[in-house]
Amino acid sequence: MVLGRALHFVFKVGDRGRTASFYRDILGMTVLRHEEFEEGCKASCNGPYDGRWSKTMVGFGSEDSHFVTELTYNYGVGDYRLGNDFLGITLQSSEAVSKAKKRGWALTKTQDGVFITEAPGGYKFVLVDKEQPQTDPVQKVTLAVSDLQRSIHYWSNLLGMKVYEKNDAKKLALLGYADDQCKLELQDIGCPVDHGTAYGRIAFSCPTEQLPGIETQMKKENQKILTPLVSLDTPGKAAVEVVILADPDGHEICLVGDEAFRELSRVDPDGSKLLEDAMAADKSGEWFAKHRKEKPSA
């Protein structure tokens, strides 16, 4: 049985300034830590790129108790093509709704009474207009699948998630590792899943000792392993063991050893300043503007 903990979802971003403003000034999240890397990640955390990149973790609270977002920025890449794979993150915060209205950020109210908005890059967020809870406001991540039953088997039988709800009429299923954690919602879209170039990655932790067994089980079941068990280094911080999987529709899944990750993911009080300093030092936008060019798309 996998003793999992929901951690974060990874977005590729082309404009760190507007993106940081959205998460901080609209959603009300804070920068938890920021890290710069001189070369691509061994587990392709920043996608299929070999150059310089950065990682910024933002959320409503500590990564020990909150589901957060990881913003990866590849220097020199201006934007990414969206697919139909990511359907949204749902969070409860009337405060975010109020901030969006005051700042003129686009909101669309649905018949269900929730508000739909988009982060820079087109990533969808569903805002429930109720008081933000003291616990984690992030309720679920919704991903598209092409065969709901096959996906339920993968996430439940192979990765050990509990099925909380299943709605055959709406072709939806809600899964998770614990009642008080962010859930994973799977929605059958009735067609192949296209990940575009903006494809994300969802991350969970589990006891480090479980990682080899999970990898072995996936091999036995002929499931895709994108990155076999490997140790990832972060300058000045703890190294973590990870294995990167792909579900039947190609959604990337990062499983990381929980013990080292808790050490790595401690809130850095200098995180926001590190991000601001990195953005100030990044002159790539000015260079492209000076030469009357646009940053290349992924």
Other CB atoms within 10 A of residue 249 CB: 20
Q: How far is CA 32 from the centre of its chain?
A: 14
- Whether residue 2 is predicted with pLDDT greater than 90 in this model: the reply is no
Which residues on adjacent β-strands are paired with residue 120? none
Cβ–Cβ < 8 Å for 55, 72: yes
Tens of pLDDT, residues 107-125: 999 998 999 999 999 999 9
Tens of pLDDT, residues 32-82: 999 999 999 999 999 999 999 999 999 999 999 999 999 999 998 999 999
The residue ranges of DSSP E strands in 103-152, in sequence order, are 108-109, 115-118, 124-128, 138-145
Total domains, the chain: 1
Note the pLDDT of residue 128. Answer: 98
Looking at the domain assignment, is residue 188 inside a domain?
A: yes
- Give, for 259, the enclosing helix (H) or strand (E): helix 258-264
Cβ–Cβ < 8 Å for 188, 171: yes
Exposure b/e, 274-297, CB count within 10 A at least 16 = b = bbeebbeebeeeeeeeeeeeebee
Distance CA 143, CA 189 (A): 10
Looking at the domain assignment, is residue 297 inside a domain?
A: no
Note the pLDDT of residue 248. Answer: 98
Tens of pLDDT, residues 74-109: 998 999 999 999 999 999 999 999 999 999 999 999
Looking at the domain assignment, is residue 298 inside a domain?
A: no
Note the pLDDT of residue 227. Answer: 97
- Whether residue 295 is predicted with pLDDT greater than 90 in this model: the reply is no
Tens of pLDDT, residues 206-220: 999 999 999 999 999
CATH number of the domain encompassing residue 253: 3.10.180.10
Looking at the domain assignment, is residue 207 inside a domain?
A: yes
Note the pLDDT of residue 293. Answer: 63
- Whether residue 12 is predicted with pLDDT greater than 70 in this model: the reply is yes
- Whether residue 271 is predicted with pLDDT greater than 60 in this model: the reply is yes
Note the pLDDT of residue 286. Answer: 72
Which residues on adjacent β-strands are paired with residue 79? 297
Residues 6+ apart with CB under 8 A from 270: none
Residue 291 pLDDT level (bands cut at 50, 70, 90): low
Range of the domain at 208: 5-290
Looking at the domain assignment, is residue 295 inside a domain?
A: no
Note the pLDDT of residue 288. Answer: 66
The average confidence (pLDDT) of the chain is 95
Mean per-residue pLDDT for 256-266? 96
Q: pLDDT above 70 covers what percent of the chain?
A: 98
Q: How far is CA 158 from the centre of its chain?
A: 21
Number of residues that this document lists for the chain = 298
Other CB atoms within 10 A of residue 35 CB: 19
Looking at the domain assignment, is residue 162 inside a domain?
A: yes
Looking at the domain assignment, is residue 296 inside a domain?
A: no
